[in-house]
A = this chain, B = another copy of it.
């Protein structure tokens, strides 16, 4: 059987580059175009494939297309592709909860929503921060381990590729090197809408920071727990939910660091009790923003949509 034909739109941003990398290692699909306005004509890194301009690209040549564009530019591409009968995985925010277009798409949190993804025509691939927060908290909410009322505080830190590859002064090497800072203070980050849609029961305070590394997200979550709940109970709930999930690792003890996940498609989860504060458990979620936080989850979604084994081609 011929491999399924795949297209990547916006293939030279950080997300697009990672998408090509994981697709290249999949083995069951073939990338037949990869667009880049900036590098059209240059070799893509995949054998025999040069980047093409979007306007010169024949959408009909593929069965499924990944949209790795800057936020805001994906919606018209999705419309064109769907009209042509081509399935779409949109890695931008354009069809995520809070976008106003979420009703048109299936939310591709693959570990929570596999059934709907399998038959979806248009999948909104989740944001990097919401992936860690949602997969850490959803099982705990479901099992009623979370104390209702007080906010769950998510102190997050991300490497710089999370901000995209468009040149901006704030992202220059000499600005970031040796620095560390909070950004989007005020609980107004775009990703909050997405987290709230998945976790409507939980008041969230989300505070991101910019980390002087290229890749990786670490989310330190301060969780008010119901009476009697401790870190061991949290781990048990995670085990029940994610024990067989191919890309989620629950640590038996301790908490994960970036090094455990960078370059992989894994989410690693750990929990710790706090001396003197029985009502608060600290959770740590670690993932690669370009792996499980973007291209890895997109490939997972593709596997579901095309009937492959869910973990095929994933680095886990």
Contacts and interface: CB of A to CB of B under 8 A. Distances in A.
B153 A153 contact: yes
Work out how many copies of this chain go into the complex.
Answer: 4
B274 A187 contact: yes
**Number of chain A interface residues as a range:** 35 or more
Interface in A99-154: 150-151, 153
A66 interface: no
B174 A172 contact: no
A37 interface: no
Interface in A218-260: 218, 220, 222, 254-259
A182 interface: yes
Contacts of A214: 173-174, 177-178
Interface in A246-283: 254-259, 262-263, 272-277, 280, 282
Nearest to A222: B153
Given A167-B168, A213-B179, A282-B185, A174 B274 contact: no
Contact of A207 (B169, B209, B282): B282
Given A222-B153, A222-B222, A14 B174 contact: yes
Contacts of A153: 153, 222, 280
Interface stretch (A53-61, A87-95, A157-165): A157-165
Given A181-B258, A262-B178, A169 B167 contact: yes
A151 B277 contact: yes
A171 interface: yes
Contacts of A211: 180, 211-212
Given A172-B172, A178-B258, 7 more contacts: A150-B150, A153-B153, A159-B174, A177-B214, A178-B215, A185-B255, A212-B212
Task: Give the 5 A-B CB pairs with smallest separation, nearest first.
Answer: A181-B257, A167-B167, A185-B272, A187-B274, A173-B176
